[in-house]
Structure 1
Amino acid sequence: MKQRRVDAVPSGLNEEQVSKQLLDETVLAGDECRARNDHQICFGRARELVDAHSFCQTRN
């Protein structure tokens, strides 16, 4: 993973704290993205099941 450099550090924080904050935000963003993808996959599978059920109902 590429290390980010911070040009200006907000008052009251040192560079190490800012780097940790950026890392935490990056990890949280990744978790949110994975959760969103999981939901999309779940809904997609549900739609496929509904479509398959409808197809089977029309053939009988």
Structure 2
Amino acid sequence: MREINFEHYKIFYYVAKFQNITMAANYLFLSQPSISRSVKNLEDELGCKLFVRSKKGVELTTGGE
């Protein structure tokens, strides 16, 4: 069984809260690419897309909700 990385869930929470990857990265003192990578890893782990990304930010998908 694969070990759960709770850091991915924390990052997911802040991206969803701010609806913006860059704002979440700034808040968490992480780089934007590391936030994007964590979200992608969580999406792969869960087998569903969590956010719809646009130039304005991100929105939760049904799976993300």
TM-score (norm 2): 0.35
Whose strand proportion is higher, 1 or 2? 2
Whose helix proportion is higher, 1 or 2? 1
Higher relative contact order (CA 8 A, sep 6+): 2
